[in-house]
Structure 1
Amino acid sequence: SELIRSNPIAKMPTLITDTGTALYDSRVICEYLDSLHDGARMFPLETTARWTVLRRQALGDGVLDAAVSIRYETVLRPDEKRWSAWIEGQMGKVRRGLDTLENEVATFDDDVNIGIITVACALGYLNFRYPEEDWRAPRPGLRDWYAKFSTRESMATTEPVVF
């Protein structure tokens, strides 16, 4: 397939640049796209801000990875092969990540950067796939921040829907 020819690990997403170079992994693709414009950077260049943003991106990605892993385990694996202790371990990662974000939410500023976007996408995924897992009640700061951030046009127009 075209994907395997372009990306040896056949993982989505893959972006083929105008020069024919294959870029894979959302982080790499996002940084590439950020390099193509002269506007405000999603990936700050200044060292302190950069590490804060990249760490927040990694935390959001970690929450998302654990949540997606739970989804695979509970939807794709047959009931008799599901590993409840592993699922709970992954949910522990989600909860600890959210607790960390709750402790940091007061430091989120109005800058839209890759860290903030990743966190918002992770929260949106939790809302979409795990509506029964109420992450909001014990984390009012994060809940309020997400309620406001999710009204942005870019978030509202990309909200997932079930077909």
Structure 2
Amino acid sequence: MKLIASPTSPFVRKVRVLLHETGKTDAIEQVMVATTPLASDSQAVAANPIGKIPALVRDSGPAIYDSRVITQFLNATWDLGMYPAAREWEIKTLESQADAILDAAVTVVYEQKLRPEELHYETWFDAQRQKIDRAVADIESRWMSHLAGPLDMSHIAVGVALSYLDFRMPDRDWRANAPALADWHAKFAARQSMIDTVPPQ
């Protein structure tokens, strides 16, 4: 199998961290591409007509895409235990919430990098930042007991999302009102899987 990827994509990083955590890094060829919403890489488009990454080119059957589809496919294929039945819906909900943080953050990053400055819409930026703030506050108030439990896919998703905020939105001090989550993230970011997948500056 081949993973169409980019070292700076947080959605790709979720899959790469999963591979590291489960000892499967050698089982999938990682094909790094440079792609943006304005200039999609040809390999990304060949795997996913939208051009988004990650996309997983399987040995049989069509390519699959969206990081959550890929992580659930790999979990089922290799019986990785990252979505245990007893906590399945909580895991999927928290993973979805982490992905929503990424969606809002990536939107801001692309708008700032790709849209001319004179066309920036600050009200839109503020709305995305508020979504991030609300989601972080909710994890702090409602999900810390879950994050204290055995490693599952939601831990990876939250860890990657918070690290992306540090990487691309360092001016947003998400830790200020989330001390428990900040402590959790400091430990999670020190895992070898996270160190091995730090995006290039």
Q: What's the TM-score once normalised by structure 2's chain length?
A: 0.74
Structure 1: which 4+ aligned runs deviate by more than 4 Å?
Answer: none
1:63 corresponds in structure 2 to 101
Query: Is this contact kept in 2: 1:106–1:141, CA < 8 A?
Result: no
Greater relative contact order structure (CA < 8 Å, 6+ sep): 2
Write the deviation string for residues 96-150 of structure 1: whole angstroms up to 9, x where unpaired: 0000011122332331111111110000000111112111121100000000111
Sort the Cα spacing of 1:128 and 1:5 in 2 relative to 1 into closer, same or farther, 3 A.
closer
Q: How does 1:39-50 map to 2 (within 5 A)?
A: 39=80, 41-46=81-86, 49-50=87-88
Partner of 1:154: 193
Which stretch has the larger CA shift, 7-16 or 153-162?
A: 7-16
Identity of aligned residues (%): 40
- Within 1, Cα distance between the matches of 2:91 and 2:145? 15
Verify: 1:115 aligned to 2:154, yes or no: yes
Once the two structures are overlaid, the 10-residue window that deviates more, 4-13 or 88-97, is 4-13
Report the Cα offset of residue 14 of structure 1: 1.2
CA distance in 2, matches of 1:24, 1:107: 27
| Aligned partner letter, 2:129 | M
Query: Partner letter of residue 45 of structure 1?
Result: A
CA RMSD of aligned residues (A): 1.5
Within 5 Å, give how 1:94-133 maps onto structure 2: 94-103=132-141, 104-133=143-172
Give the stretch that moved more between structures: 93-102 or 10-19: 10-19
Q: 1:89 aligns with which of 127, 149, 159?
A: 127
**1:15-70, CA deviations, whole angstroms, 9 ceiling, x for partnerless residues?**
1111142111111111111122244x112233xx1110000001000001000001
User: Aligned residue for 2:7?
Assistant: none
Residue type of the partner of 1:36?
Answer: T
